[in-house]
Amino acid sequence: MSLTRAQIRQRLSAPRDGSKSGDALTALRLAQVDGLIPYDPAKHGASMFTGMPTDPVGRTSTSGGAKSYVAAAVLVPLVEHADGFTILLTQRMPDLKAHAGQISFPGGRIEPEDPDPEAGALREAQEEIGLAPAEVEVLGRLDSYVTITGFDVTPIVGAIKPPMSLQKDPREVADIFEVPLAFILNRANHQRHSRVAPNGLTRGYYALPYGDRYIWGATAGMLMNLYEVLTAPL
């Protein structure tokens, strides 16, 4: 499936139901699915679930009240090559306190000085990978994504064109790499995995293994939303 910037923008702007997606909803959706691929630390990374909350749904606080979420934004960078788009991703440093070693989009919490999620995503991308905001054409938003770790994330889709002058932040980013958009848009590459949470309950999540990269959790969930948006009939 070959798409242009204009077509991607059109699909992102098409009416959607406006509902949130997230880790908890994915876990509930996959709870009744047979044949989930069990978590394998030898393949998927021994520390990937470090610090995972025991609440499998993630909608309540430890005091039993409604859980508050931190507003965040990520940039979903589509790199426009002559033979098609790729998606730029980062691998986090292995010694970080949160999400160590995991694959993610550049992004983070929205700061008070950010006028909107777009500004927050572009600022974070510049800080993490040295991508200048002027190099990005914002095409639209995906559905907001609520993580089990307490973030309400707005994914901002932006197009960029090589050559890119990127500089990773050595405190946060171990590597920057690209995955073909065609790989994400191929349903054969969408996997549904599971892991037993500390409370003994099984949690389902999406995964998109790419070579030796294990894309899972919130990043995979947002990529699944990108797939749904870009392949939906207009």
Domains of the chain: 5-231 (3.90.79.10)
Which tokens go with 166? 């990127």
Q: Is the pLDDT of residue 186 over 70?
A: yes
Q: Are 175 and 91 in contact (CB under 8 A)?
A: yes
Name, in order, each residue with C-beta under 8 angstroms of 117's C-beta and a sequence gap of 6 or more.
71, 73, 110, 141, 154, 156
Amino acid at 195: R
- Nearest Cα to 183, choosing from 147, 213, 218? 213
- Taken in order 86, 88, 91, 97, is the CA torsion positive or negative? negative
pTM comes to: 0.89
pLDDT, tens digit (0-9, with 9 covering 90-100), for 208-220: 999 999 999 999 9
Sheet bearing 191-196, strands edge to edge? 37-38, 191-196, 202-210, 213-216
Q: Quote helix, strand, coil % in the chain, to nearest 5.
A: 25, 30, 40
Q: Pick the residue with more confidence: 144 or 49?
A: 144
Mean model confidence pLDDT for the chain:
87
pLDDT, tens digit (0-9, with 9 covering 90-100), for 98-154: 555 589 999 999 999 999 999 999 999 999 999 999 999 999 999 999 998 899 999
